[in-house]
Chain A
Amino acid sequence: MKVTMRVNGVERSGDIEPRVLLVDFLRSNLLLTGTHIGCDTTSCGACTVRIDGDPVKSCTVLAVQAEGREIKTVEGLANGAALAPIQVGFHEEHGLQCGFCTPGMMMVTSALLERNPNPTDDDIRWAISGNICRCTGYTNIVKAVQHAAKLTSAAAKAPAGKEAAAVAGGGE
């Protein structure tokens, strides 16, 4: 059956079996492989994307349930060469090691920061408690999100035109 949704701001559609999961549609049909599969049981959060702004584990949503919805994946975070504040935060605070959980972590925490621009460390730990990381022990992920929160609030206060400089960089 046909399914159509907006993914990272672009209308995308595909002809799929009704049983296809959103994560498989994103990865296999749209080749957006930044969204990962870690467990099959909604336990690890590696597949987290945003649906109409909400962070959702895309292994537990049928692609057809996303019909007509607005999907954002990790590939939609950066604005061209300029990384989003959450990406800069993960880079600057060493919030990633193997990088497998990172897309899901960033999708959850970017949603957190939109709702709560000044989170406490416990707010962050609670927000990511459905996402497993095997490498970092979470310490630097918490710092990364705090870093992003500071960048975002600094950018909001900065005069127009300075914003891009504040969020540029973070990688080769």
Chain B
Amino acid sequence: MSSTAHMHGGIGESIKRKEDGRFLRGKGNFLDDIVLPNMLHMAILRSPYAHARIKSIDTAAASAKPGVIAVVTGELMAQHKLAWMPTMSGDTQAVLATDKVRFQGQEVAAVVAETKAQAEDALASIEVDYEVLPAVTSPDGAKATGSALIRDDKEGQTDNHIYHWESGDEGTTKAAFAKAHKVIRLHTFYPRCHPAPLETCGCIADVNPATGKTTIYMTSQAPHAIRTVFALVAGLSEQNIRIVSPDLGGGFGNKVPVYPGYVVATAASLLLGRPVKWIEDRTENLISTGFARDYHMTGDLAVDENGKMLALHVHLDSDNGAFFADAQPTKFKAGLFHIVTGSYDIPTAHITADGYYTNKAPGGVAYRCSFRVTEASYLIERLVTNAAIELGIDQAEFRKRNFIQPEQFPYHSATGWVYDSGDYPKAMDVALDKLGYAELKKDVEARRKKGEVTGIGIASFTEVVGAGHGADYDILGLRMFDSAELRVHPTGKAMLRMGTKSQGQGHETTFAQIVAEELGIPAQDVSVEEGDTDTAPYGLGTYASRSTPVAGAATAMVARELREKARKLAAHLLEAAEEDLVWERGKFYVKGSPERSKTIQEAAFAAYTNLPEGMQPGLEGVHYYDPPNMTYPFGTYAVVVDVDKGTGQVKVKRMVAVDDCGVRINPMIVEGQIHGGLAEGFGIAFMQLITFDDEGNCIGSNFMDYLIPGSWETPKFELGETTTPSPHHPIGAKGVGESPTVGSPAAYVNAVIDALSPYGITNIDMPVTSDKVWAALRSKGVTE
């Protein structure tokens, strides 16, 4: 047994994880571990070109290869009206290309064979005749006169522009800028990166010809939404579709969308009457599935003579790839980017955004992020540090001067958000204290005088997570609520099922702890299941830090509902009036007579054996929770760097992270999440880059080119916390998994910019690699 197995496991206890056992023994159940009888294997032929017209596809030779059962092309998919599918942003995406290929790595054909090796071997025998077209690889390229029209399949589409979107108030913002003492501008590019979970994406489609039941094992963060999409798109009857999301080897947003491979494998299984497995290799994952970011941003911050912020204007050009497939709520074209005023009391703001098609992979997933909050947080925090440097005000002091103050909550932001709660000065103070800021600043000054290049970066981020409310937030029209079903068995043990899906976040432990707290059943007696749409209640899945804010709330609510039924049962057993019973975690006792009590387990047994006349038997329930508002986690991160003038190498000396995610259910798991996000933020800031050459060839298509931080590069982290409970969440929790990826990139880069500020350097686009730092220093005449 685990060293914490004896603990009750209520809220705030760092009990060890219940799910660990199977992973430690190599008995996890990941997608590629599943083998079904009579199973076929599918491999996908992908385009070598970023933009080309398909003149012909000859599959005859491939079809004759050993073990090959079928070769699927776009033409065959078109016969079943499945050559195209809808995206999450109201566009269409090719399942298998019929007319043109529009990005390198696009799906062109698929081979289904008896073995994986046979399927892969046969790909080389498919003859595709391409007419190569000029590639568009950036928004500027997409805008250029005479640039190639990428989406000639869309009626009425005459250029590569996708959308224009605005938020805030243009008039008041312009007026504020007109009377500004100073305007600070930052133009920066948040480059394309990829979540790259260690397990790639894949599925096994199993259409049973005898029963008509379609079971699809799928690496999905949102299995219920996928089921409904498959019903609507493929015309399958929804009760006959079962999506099973097994153990997921990470997700980070990459496993939210529907990918062409899922659709083709399902169609193949339907046509062939046998299970079909498809799983990506790493290159397929990096070049074709949900990328993130790729925002070109220009921010202008207006300030008065006292260093008070007056107004913010931001314009961004979004590079969306060949199909507009951003994973985001329908209402918002640039996700939740308009949270960009961040932690600051800025009276007015105006945001404009334009999206463009390019010959790059589609996606736009929220990589460990709540729908573009990361880009917003990065821009404002970079802009604020740059402004502080330009104004000659200490960057911590400048932030404090402009923070939304604790008494201003609930705070109505200039772009329409209602921040639920926060105490930004407090988180800042804890971070500065941990850092030893005053001493550190002196040290930096002293070392700079000696010619050393060193700096401190701060970021005080505010997130917006936990979507919905369902009236404002939806996925393809499905309201973003979530659910929890709780069954208490006669012996007082319980089973909890939710509409979310863990990818490593520890749901089997954390959610059992909510039940342990609310219903008094020890966490070790509560089993938690997710991911099977035949058994779990409907929910919208796990992304955008929404599991605890939404399904966690549903869990608390259903546990409270069962507790009220248990109260009636206990009253019946104790022959006392309900209102005379006092609840103490795990039992009811009669007011004034604590010896007269019944445990929750006794009440549960009575629900099946000895209940009051007229009461329905059983102790089970389900709650669907539609949150009244988002939650707003926040924090202050601070980074110290040294820069080697000779090589441009940046060394992160310290990383202090103070997070406020409201009430922490399992502090050990929360801290683990923060560690992971800080490491990913480090990777984004310094290493991870998906880029393209002028012909649209993807550079960053494997782990030798797309650099992921390892143990040696990753800095050591110093964590701190404050706790400001969410006022509208049943247990005051806010969600935490994404805060560190949202907040940390700006902190890392700000430290580098602070270090380089004596040389007049104000921006280096991520990833901040040694060669860029070296070139920036050389451009300012630093030669040693």
Contact yes or no, B704 A170, CB < 8 A: no
Q: Name the segment of A36-44, A111-119, A156-164 touching the other chain.
A: A36-44
For A91, the chain B residues whose CB sits under 8 A away are: 2, 16-17, 20-21, 24
Q: Name the segment of B53-61, B192-200, B403-411, B566-574 touching the other chain.
A: B192-200
Complex CA gap A41/B708 in Å reads 13
Residue A64 CB within 8 A of the other chain:
no
Contact indicator per residue, chain B 19-49, by CB within 8 Å of chain A (1) or not (0)? 1111111111010110100000000000000
Residue B250 CB within 8 A of the other chain:
yes
Near B by CB (< 8 A), chain A positions 1-47 give 17, 19, 27, 31-41, 43-44, 46
Residue A62 CB within 8 A of the other chain:
no
Near A by CB (< 8 A), chain B positions 494-509 give 503-506
Contact yes or no, A100 B26, CB < 8 A: no
For B678, the chain A residues whose CB sits under 8 A away are: 137
Contact indicator per residue, chain A 128-172, by CB within 8 Å of chain B (1) or not (0)? 111111111111111000000000000000000000000011111
Known contacts A34-B27, A169-B2, A171-B20; is A100 also within 8 Å of B199 by CB?
Answer: yes
Known contacts A44-B703, A98-B249; is A38 also within 8 Å of B711 by CB?
Answer: no
Contact yes or no, A98 B198, CB < 8 A: yes
Residue B775 CB within 8 A of the other chain:
no
Contact yes or no, A171 B2, CB < 8 A: yes
Contact yes or no, A129 B710, CB < 8 A: yes
Complex CA gap A96/B703 in Å reads 21
Complex CA gap A136/B679 in Å reads 8
Residue B107 CB within 8 A of the other chain:
no
Contact yes or no, A99 B3, CB < 8 A: no
For B702, the chain A residues whose CB sits under 8 A away are: 39-41, 43
Q: Which residue on chain A has the smallest CB distance to residue B524?
A: A172
Complex CA gap A132/B504 in Å reads 15
| Secondary structure type dominating chain A contacts | loop
Complex CA gap A98/B3 in Å reads 21
For A171, the chain B residues whose CB sits under 8 A away are: 2, 20-22, 24-25
For B503, the chain A residues whose CB sits under 8 A away are: 98
For B504, the chain A residues whose CB sits under 8 A away are: 97-100, 135
Known contacts A73-B26, A169-B2; is A97 also within 8 Å of B676 by CB?
Answer: yes
For A103, the chain B residues whose CB sits under 8 A away are: 26
For A130, the chain B residues whose CB sits under 8 A away are: 710
CB distance from B97 to the nearest CB of A (A): 24
Contact yes or no, B197 A98, CB < 8 A: yes
Q: Which residue on chain A has the smallest CB distance to residue B17?
A: A94
Contact yes or no, A138 B23, CB < 8 A: no
Q: Which residue on chain B has the smallest CB distance to residue A32?
A: B26
Complex CA gap A135/B675 in Å reads 8
Known contacts A132-B708, A137-B717; is A41 also within 8 Å of B17 by CB?
Answer: no
For B676, the chain A residues whose CB sits under 8 A away are: 97, 134-137
For B249, the chain A residues whose CB sits under 8 A away are: 36, 38, 98-100
CB distance from A38 to the nearest CB of B (A): 5
Contact indicator per residue, chain B 698-711, by CB within 8 Å of chain A (1) or not (0)? 00001110001011
Residue B426 CB within 8 A of the other chain:
no
Q: Which residue on chain A has the smallest CB distance to residue B279?
A: A37
Contact yes or no, B20 A134, CB < 8 A: no
For B22, the chain A residues whose CB sits under 8 A away are: 99, 171-172
Near A by CB (< 8 A), chain B positions 443-459 give none
Of listed A36, A90, A126, residue having the most chain B CB within 10 A: A36
Residue A125 CB within 8 A of the other chain:
yes
Residue in A39, A75, A78, A101 whose CB lies within 8 Å of B703: A39
Contact indicator per residue, chain A 69-86, by CB within 8 Å of chain B (1) or not (0)? 000011101100001000
CB distance from B652 to the nearest CB of A (A): 13
Q: How large is the interface on A (under 10, 10 to 19, 20 to 34, 35 or more residues)?
A: 35 or more
Residue B440 CB within 8 A of the other chain:
no
Contact yes or no, A41 B282, CB < 8 A: yes
Contact yes or no, B3 A44, CB < 8 A: no
CB distance from A59 to the nearest CB of B (A): 10
Residue in B23, B199, B200, B679 whose CB lies within 8 Å of A137: B679
For A135, the chain B residues whose CB sits under 8 A away are: 250, 504, 672, 676
Known contacts A31-B35, A40-B282, A141-B711; is A170 also within 8 Å of B2 by CB?
Answer: yes
For B506, the chain A residues whose CB sits under 8 A away are: 97
CB distance from B202 to the nearest CB of A (A): 11
CB distance from B525 to the nearest CB of A (A): 12
Residue B491 CB within 8 A of the other chain:
no
For B33, the chain A residues whose CB sits under 8 A away are: 27, 33
Complex CA gap A167/B24 in Å reads 13
Contact yes or no, A96 B282, CB < 8 A: no
For A31, the chain B residues whose CB sits under 8 A away are: 35
Residue B714 CB within 8 A of the other chain:
yes
Residue A54 CB within 8 A of the other chain:
no
Complex CA gap A74/B254 in Å reads 27
Residue in B23, B505, B672, B673 whose CB lies within 8 Å of A102: B23
Known contacts A39-B703, A134-B196; is A96 also within 8 Å of B117 by CB?
Answer: no
Residue B779 CB within 8 A of the other chain:
no
Of listed A46, A77, A78, A139, residue having the most chain B CB within 10 A: A139
Known contacts A44-B703, A136-B675; is A96 also within 8 Å of B198 by CB?
Answer: no
Residue in B1, B30, B703 whose CB lies within 8 Å of A132: B703
Residue in B24, B710, B712, B717 whose CB lies within 8 Å of A96: B24
Contact yes or no, A137 B18, CB < 8 A: no
Complex CA gap A30/B20 in Å reads 24
CB distance from A117 to the nearest CB of B (A): 20
For B26, the chain A residues whose CB sits under 8 A away are: 32-35, 73-75, 77, 103
For B198, the chain A residues whose CB sits under 8 A away are: 36, 38, 44, 46, 98, 100-101, 132-134
Contact yes or no, A139 B703, CB < 8 A: no
Residue in B5, B24, B704 whose CB lies within 8 Å of A83: B24
Residue in A44, A102, A125 whose CB lies within 8 Å of B711: A125
Contact yes or no, B712 A98, CB < 8 A: no
Contact yes or no, B703 A172, CB < 8 A: no
Contact yes or no, A36 B679, CB < 8 A: no
Complex CA gap A92/B17 in Å reads 9
Contact yes or no, B18 A172, CB < 8 A: yes
Residue B584 CB within 8 A of the other chain:
no
Residue B283 CB within 8 A of the other chain:
yes
Residue in B30, B199, B679 whose CB lies within 8 Å of A138: B679
The 4 tightest CB contacts between A and B, nearest first, are A34-B26, A171-B21, A98-B504, A99-B23
Given contacts A34-B28, A40-B283, A139-B716, 8 further A-B contacts (CB under 8 A): A44-B703, A75-B27, A98-B197, A131-B711, A137-B677, A138-B711, A138-B714, A171-B22
Q: A-contacting residues of B (Cβ < 8 Å)? A: 1-3, 5, 16-28, 30, 32-33, 35, 117, 196-200, 247-250, 252, 281-283, 503-506, 668-669, 672-673, 675-680, 702-704, 708, 710-712, 714, 716-717
Could you list 11 A-B pairs, sorted by A, with CB under 8 Å? A92-B3, A98-B247, A99-B24, A99-B249, A137-B677, A137-B714, A139-B675, A169-B1, A169-B3, A171-B22, A172-B22
